Structure 1
């Protein structure tokens, strides 16, 4: 099941995308796609709905974040060995955990706002894992039982603030618009193995990132288990699980970063695609 929210910011309606790619209105069934309220049981009830029984949505409305109730956006750094190499860093022996501010979260096709004076704003396509059941110190074997589904995340990053301004990475990761999520929440039953998903990102139509979740240093199950030792994960929380090589920071001979007018397109196999235009912040 592919769940979606569509409409103007703050006025989004719930919907789903049927097997033919048609957007259907879910507002007659549930007023909100609120994972803290729905949880895994609520998603199971929604799966019993026949999509053809729902009204078809006409036109091409704006897409919002596909669900609400995100209390935390947790991210994992350097989780692909080849990305660690291009960044000039060692492959971690434990997951590197940092946080992205929830105020950075936007719809999948909303613009990226370039911070004033930005020197090194970069792109990162990532698999997002959406929690559906409270996870506290869960085992790796049980970790995926706590997943509601998966989505595409662009972990937009300002590298100067991230690495050269002192302190933690969080500063360069939390600017407004630096967390596009969507277009869909694809429920877990449609992604039997999250470790076999191809992913890609282009800038202005030129290929930048190509990868596969098979090459993660730490698997999705390992990440959920590890993070749940540090903090309780709640329904609706999102974990961005790291990015493959091809970021602007790693380009040779000269790193390349985003500028106003650039267009970023990205996607993950089975999870849909995003498109963002870079605008002044």
Structure 2
């Protein structure tokens, strides 16, 4: 690929899962979701579907524990960010139209909020569809949000409660992705992490990781990409953390490759630290 496609040989590629998230969901989870009186729709994105289904499974675990069922969009396409960044605007617009049709069905016909676990996908659908693809999403934009924002709002309003394990002990640093900066929603993810009693929280300085989607994969950009991310990598290594948390999958790839430190979405960290049965009981008491 270095010689023929211009993808730098130093770049570590994300692995592909042996089973897609949508396949797992249809076999293992879909039938159980209807028993929850409250529902949300989930825009899972390409990363969860093809690379890391565990994040989608973790979201199902957390939302079910607080009394919410998960419904997938019927015909979800890629959010379009990779096509936009490589100037394939017509193709991105085609997929965006299909996504908005599915989102409108969920929001306007089924009265569901659409949640995502990727800051990039969420930002693209909310803010880049009208700005770059000329797709009007004003009727549904406010009902598309990150899962951490949705979950935090439930807890803050007293509609849900999280109960954590006593034996969870980890030092975790949070990295704010650039799209998360634009959304202004870092506070929701970091506030949820700080609710975990056994989590030693480390706030990282605001630095771009340097990958910028497909930018950092290209041979002509690789050295620039690593140079941009180096201050962040050095800070992570200097903090001696067990784990880095971030809401962006490409940031995860870049940080793991460049530091060797494992990276997880805040939803996965919450799922790992959660006392599932105690949380179910707590939310049953709350009428969830």
Quickly name the TM-score band, shorter chain normalised. Answer: under 0.3
When Rg is computed on C-alpha atoms for both structures, the one with the higher figure is: 2
More relative contact order, 1 or 2 (CA 8 Å, 6+ apart): 1
TM-score, with structure 1 as normaliser: 0.26
